[in-house]
Amino acid sequence: MQKKIKRRTATPASNTFPETLHPVLKRIYMNRAVCDPAELDKSLNKLLSFTLLKNIQKAVEVLTLALEKQMRIVIIGDFDADGATSTCIAVKCLKLLGATHVNYLVPNRFKYGYGLTPEIVADAYEMFQPQLIITVDNGIASLAGVSAANERNIKVLVTDHHLPGATLPAAETIVNPNQPNDDFPSKNLAGVGVIFYVMLALRAHLRTENWFTANNIPEPNLATVLDIVALGTVADVVPLDQNNRILVNQGLKRIRAGHACPGITALLEVANRHPANLVASDLGFAIGPRLNAAGRLEDMSIGIQCLLAENLLEARQYAQQLNALNEARKHIERDMQQKAMLDLDTLHLEDNKQLPNGLCLFDPEWHQGVIGILASRIKDRFHRPVIVFAKENDTCIKGSARSIPNIHIRDVLDSIATTFPGLITKFGGHAMAAGLSMPHDNYAEFMQRFDEEVSRHMQPEYLDNIVFSDGELDKTDFDITLAEILRAAEPWGQAFPEPLFDGVFQLSQQRIVGEKHLKMVLKPLRTNLSIDAIAFNAIDSLTSALSIGDEIRAAFKLDVNEFRGARNLQLLIEHIEIC
């Protein structure tokens, strides 16, 4: 679908921004509704207090008792990067705080599906005989699993961030900023952020109880795990509000200073990323996918073992496995994407007026570990909510949904499940991403109901694929100094996007590099400047028609290109229109 450039509308700012703040950066902040410089403070003492979380005191009581009695604790995580990092935080921190019997178990997506299920409770009981189960990045929808644990006299502490259903599980207590009547100001914590907050609260309580001195345990500095918190937060694509920006910024600072855990260091090595130059997007696009590949294709325990590795030699072995799995994942994804696009082409749906507002695709041969990525790719191409289904077993299919702004995908599924009982077996998720299961025989009806429900919420303008720009740059702003200022203003990410500008240029040079990337030299109109630019994965019918001397309108980011010791300004082209 053709993209359109639209300039952001700025929120009026107070006059308290420092005079030294670059005017372009001030404009960027105003475009992101930042009106007060206090919102830009990324120091740890500006983190929201754990005391604001509902049930946090009860959670601390449960964990304190577990430590005092040295209970057998099992962490039940999830099979994505947030789940892996959450599990790692729980295991690391509990051991630092004095727990001696801590194990973890991650549901295999192909055997158990998502969350704390009765089956995984049974396996945990057989393997570890736990007295306490702690869920991380899951559990808010695990009614049957918590009930199964209760029947075995296993206490359950749920820590999660997903949106709750009408009924909550009968756990000892639940810590989730999105549960009813929770006053925690940020609803955007990832699962790893929630369990980190629980550990902060537990440490604070143990300090007041003189626990560390009485047990001859050094009081741990929990800031040492912020690199892992940052990774999970970025990889889970949660909105980077001020609280999450603090967590990510502090984690990035540790990594850049060479204080990352061996697992992250090893993953950076296989991804050819230098810690000193790391930015938040590297966590999302280079490290996160390698970690996720384990859960998508095999067992996320490989990723957790990598993050828990105590030395670089051990971590490198796991990182190499994760890198190989990621290459296999990309191969599977390419094949699935080609098949999906061929299916769409045969339906002659390129005219978007013929497309359903809610698009469903299913192929029994598709790999259920990769359908989420495929749904995201198709959503990006057609800019509408998409659900991609794969075979779960002989009678059921599993779907992964991705949505666009203004269409809350979990609410769509909730409405369908309420209006048509039995059509969906189970579902869960967020505004932009969700998962579901259903009998295969229900697929045809679900396709119709999904399109109807999406259409009920759809407005014509929602289907416009907008590239939001922070406006034009003056010729004096095409400068490596501004590029470095913008990088230093990190972290950028979900709901706090990296600065993007637009302008009209004359194309002076162009060549294809790496078979699919367009390398260019652009001249801003009415200037004598010549600026290097590159558009990744941009070889299509439009760019193939470009000729030297053409005037183009481009949306771009400022970047610093480092090559053979030289550092030069480079434009990263996100979108091109021929004038």
pLDDT digits (tens, 9 = 90+) for 36-74: 888 889 999 999 999 999 999 999 999 999 999 999 999
**pTM for this one?**
0.90
The domains found in the chain, sorted by start residue, are: 45-323 (3.90.1640.30), 347-465 (3.10.310.30), 467-578 (2.40.50.460)
Q: What is the mean pLDDT of residues 432-461?
A: 95
Confidence label for 86 from pLDDT (cuts 50, 70 and 90): very high
Lateral strand order in the sheet of 102-105: 102-105, 73-76, 132-136, 155-159, 173-175
Cα dihedral across residues 27, 29, 31, 33: positive or negative: negative
Whether residue 354 is predicted with pLDDT greater than 80 in this model: the reply is: no
Q: Which has the minimum average pLDDT: 221-230, 412-421, 528-537, 543-552?
A: 543-552
pLDDT at 210: 97
422: left (phi over 0), alpha (psi -120 to 50) or beta: left
Supply the pLDDT for residue 15: 65
Range with the lowest mean pLDDT among 231-240, 241-250, 274-283, 343-352?
343-352
What average pLDDT does range 393-412 have in this prediction?
93
| Residue 337 reports pLDDT greater than 90 | no
pLDDT at 449 over 90: yes
State the chain's mean pLDDT as an integer: 92
State pLDDT tens for residues 360-380.
999 999 988 889 889 998 998
Provide the 3-class DSSP secondary structure of residue 512: strand
Q: What is the pLDDT of residue 416?
A: 96
- CA angle, corner 238, sides to 227 and 498, nearest 5? 85
Instruction: Give residue 4's pLDDT.
Output: 87
Query: Which band of pLDDT confidence, cut at 50, 70 and 90, is reported for residue 400?
Result: very high
Q: Please, which pLDDT band fits residue 14 given cuts at 50, 70 and 90?
A: low
Does the pLDDT value for residue 352 go beyond 70? Answer: no
- Buried residues in 243-253 as b, exposed as e (16+ CB within 10 A): bbbbbbbbbbb
pLDDT score of 552 more than 80: yes
- Token code pair at residue 266: 């090893």
- Tell me the range of 169-173, 324-328, 377-381, 423-427 where mean pLDDT is highest: 169-173
- Before 497, cis peptide (omega within 30)? no
Say what the pLDDT of residue 51 is: 98
CA-to-CA distance for 255 and 484, rounded, in angstroms? 18
pLDDT at 106: 84
Cβ atoms of 344 and 352 closer than 8 Å: no
- With a cut of 80, say whether residue 242 has pLDDT above it: yes
Task: Give the residue from 217, 6, 215, 4 showing the smallest Cα distance to 93.
Answer: 217
Edge to edge, the sheet with strand 396-402 lists 359-362, 386-391, 396-402, 433-439, 426-429
pLDDT for 349: 52
Q: What residue spans of 347-388 are helical by DSSP H?
A: 371-382
Tokens of 20: 């030294």
- Give the tens place of pLDDT for each residue, 270-322: 999 999 999 999 999 999 999 988 887 777 899 999 999 999 999 999 999 99
- 339 vs 337: CA distance, rounded Å: 5
pLDDT tens for 115-126 read 899 999 999 999
